[in-house]
Structure 1
């Protein structure tokens, strides 16, 4: 069983099912986040273009839907996971810092405004 049916099988007692769902969810989050960022922010952060990241992350997610998530034996799953991790820990923070959606910067801000 592979592809989308692997995730839809709902095998709650199988730990590999949980790993497959987590990997697929992480790749989807990275893809949605990359799609929601502005194009000029990628260039300003000196990272690859938005289209590059959308293609890479879209292929990573799409191939896992098509062929199934197998973190032990599939090089496609591991390569896509590595690309998603690189986006999440390198590209996303640089873009968030430039666009001001990083949460950092103001140290005197409380939950209801500055104090």
Structure 2
């Protein structure tokens, strides 16, 4: 009786775990590419602290994602939820603030080209 429902719910949780992992990877890659001085200029925490936080976030979300293949730490737990929140805070608050300080690029007198 619970077989099909269990498999659908397992699939939904696995897809959510994959999405959380991709969110964490996106935040980590962005933080790696931004120079350290951009974090200071934007008045945010240091780049090193964000790299540590996002590194652990990526680790925990990866562990949650591979759980559904039989190799994880268990159901998404408090660490996975905290990891998603940390990556979300970075992408919603820190990323827009530090992106404007990103150096380089092809900027002309009327903006990037």
TM-score (norm 1): 0.68
Distance 2:33 2:94 in 1: 13
SS at match of 2:94: helix
For 1:59 and 1:50, the matched residues in 2 are separated by 14
For structure 1, list consecutive stretches of 5 or more residues without a partner in the other structure.
Answer: 1-10, 102-107
Moved >3 Å (runs of 4+): none
Larger helix share, 1 or 2: 2
Aligned-pair CA distance for 1:18: 0.9
**Aligned equivalents of 1:100 and 1:65: distance in 2?**
31
Q: Kindly provide the CA deviation profile for residues 31-83 of structure 1, in whole angstroms up to 9, marking residues without a partner as x.
A: 111011000000000000000000000011112334x248x751101101111
Partner residue of 1:91?
94
What CA RMSD, in Å, does the superposition of the two structures yield over aligned residues?
A: 2.7
Q: Map 1:46-61 to 2 at 5 A.
A: 46-61=43-58
Q: Which runs of 5+ in 2 are unaligned?
A: 1-7, 68-74, 105-109
Question: How many angstroms apart in 2 are the aligned matches of 1:73 and 1:58?
Answer: 17
Picking from 40, 50, 53, the partner of 1:43 is 40
The 5-angstrom pairing of residues 1-115 of structure 1 reads 14-66=11-63, 68-69=64-65, 73-99=76-102
